């Protein structure tokens, strides 16, 4: 019997738990239901972002061929991925662009929704109609669970005045049930019927206590929260002050040019304490290129603290955790490193970088933090 996924976690009163009493199969029902909800309904928003128009003096998005890379690590219960794309509105109604989503290894389209590069999408009229979201559905059941190297990208190939992609949103989709299979996230729900034998089984067994514990741990370890900044990746080679990419030129560590003048933003996450440790491990993944062969690095500061009266108050200063970015001579590449975040009330994320030295640049298209519990 397959495992049905309930719409919400079951209510649980610790006072009703009986100890030192004979175990019954019916008592496993709540655990199996909550396991199914954790793996099948408590899905992850993977990431994406809004791609703002570039300011005066920058290479404009209009007519520019570019991609939006998104780091993705499949959750244990995920079967389907939803990819949503919005286009920038424009007064150039006769121009268009194709949108091609490059899928991770093992993934296939269920419904492409015109996101496979086969359709010319005309610019939505500015101020005339509501922007229509382009939506595709992807079967990810053959993508390796927990693989921290997989990713997808959304590429726009425009005509001369094609307005380009404005927003990308990628999320895993809830499922109604799980099949009972060793390589899947199911547990035989019939095993909870009163009168059934209570057995140990094993991690790969369709039923049994060990299988249930294995799946509950899968829900912690392999339902990885994603936090990421997704920007523009293109072949544009404009220099400092004109590039459409996030970038840094100076060889000294310092502020990344986020295309926001002097503004140096911070972001906030909440690290989960899943195994009673003082810190939570993350995988830092960065999509980048250097304009020459000079190696650079990216630094992250994961600082514990809290917001008090609208002011950030750190509990301790954060050290710089470094990811090396080898020189790529203009080619885009991924780099990754292990970092840790404190398990406190709130974590502030700060980012800086070194560059190759002017006039050369290091350019960034994606910065991602993905939970990496062992």
Can you give 133-155 as a three-state secondary structure string?
A: CEEEEEECCCCCECCCCCEEEEE
Q: Is the pTM of this model over 0.85?
A: yes
Would you state the structure tokens that stand for residue 258, as one six-digit string?
């986020």
Handedness of CA 171, 272, 371, 37 (dihedral sign): negative
Backbone angles phi, psi at 214, to 5 degrees: -60, -45
Which helix (H) or strand (E) is 359 found in, with range? Answer: none
Beta bridge partners of 347: 269, 304
Instruction: State residue 16's pLDDT score.
Output: 65
195, 269, 188, 267: which is closest to 225 by C-alpha? 269
With a cut of 50, which residues of the chain have pLDDT below it?
none
Q: Which domains does the chain have, with CATH numbers?
A: 3-43+176-221 (no CATH), 47-173 (2.60.120), 227-374 (2.60.120.260)
Cα→Cα distances 129→89, 125, 167, 169, 233, Å: 9, 6, 17, 21, 29
Rounded to an integer, what distance in angstroms lies between the CA atom of residue 178 and that of residue 260?
Answer: 46
Pairing label, strands 254-255, 3-4:
unpaired
Cα→Cα distances 25→32, 184, 185, 199, 359, Å: 11, 22, 20, 9, 69
116, 99, 106: which is closest to 74 by C-alpha? 106
Instruction: State residue 42's pLDDT score.
Output: 87
Instruction: State residue 274's pLDDT score.
Output: 85
Instruction: State residue 197's pLDDT score.
Output: 77
Contacts of 13 (CB under 8 A, 6+ apart): none
Instruction: State residue 180's pLDDT score.
Output: 74
Cα→Cα distances 18→10, 23, 31, 194, 199, Å: 18, 9, 15, 17, 19
Instruction: State residue 14's pLDDT score.
Output: 63
Rounded to an integer, what distance in angstroms lies between the CA atom of residue 343 and that of residue 304?
Answer: 8
């Amino acid at each position: 019997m397959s495992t049905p996924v309930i719409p919400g976690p079951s209510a649980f009163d610790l006072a009703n738990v009986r100890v030192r009493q004979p175990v019954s199969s019916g008592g496993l029902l709540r655990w199996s239901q909550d396991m199914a909800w954790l793996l099948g309904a408590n899905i992850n928003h993977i990431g994406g972002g809004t791609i703002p128009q570039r300011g005066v003096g920058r290479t404009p998005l209009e007519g520019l061929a570019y991609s939006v890379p998104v780091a993705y690590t499949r959750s244990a219960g995920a079967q389907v991925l939803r990819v949503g794309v919005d286009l920038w509105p424009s007064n150039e109604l006769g121009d268009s662009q194709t949108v091609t989503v490059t899928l991770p290894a093992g993934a296939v389209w269920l419904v492409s929704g015109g996101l496979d590069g086969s359709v010319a999408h005309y610019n939505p009229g500015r101020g005339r109609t509501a922007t229509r979201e382009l939506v595709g559905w992807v079967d990810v059941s053959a993508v390796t669970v927990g693989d921290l190297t997989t990713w997808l990208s959304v590429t726009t190939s425009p005509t001369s005045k094609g307005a380009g992609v404005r927003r990308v949103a990628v999320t895993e989709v809830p499922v109604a049930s799980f099949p009972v299979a060793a390589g899947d996230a199911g547990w035989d729900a019939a095993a909870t019927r009163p009168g059934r034998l209570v057995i140990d089984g094993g991690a790969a067994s369709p039923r049994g206590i060990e299988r249930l514990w294995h799946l509950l741990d899968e829900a912690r370890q392999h339902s990885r929260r994603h936090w990421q900044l997704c920007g523009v990746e293109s072949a544009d080679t404009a220099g400092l002050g004109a590039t459409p990419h996030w970038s840094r030129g100076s060889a000294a560590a310092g502020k990344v040019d986020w295309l926001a003048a002097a503004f140096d933003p911070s972001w906030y996450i909440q690290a989960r304490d899943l195994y009673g440790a003082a810190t939570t491990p993350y995988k830092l993944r960065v999509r980048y290129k250097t304009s020459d062969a000079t190696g650079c690095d990216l630094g992250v500061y994961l600082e514990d603290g809290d917001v008090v009266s609208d002011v950030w108050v750190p509990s301790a200063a954060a050290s710089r955790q470094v990811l090396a970015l080898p020189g790529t001579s203009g080619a885009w590449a991924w780099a990754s490193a292990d970092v840790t975040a404190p398990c406190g009330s709130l974590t502030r994320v700060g980012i800086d970088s070194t560059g190759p030295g002017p006039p050369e640049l290091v350019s960034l298209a994606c910065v991602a933090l993905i939970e990496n519990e062992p």
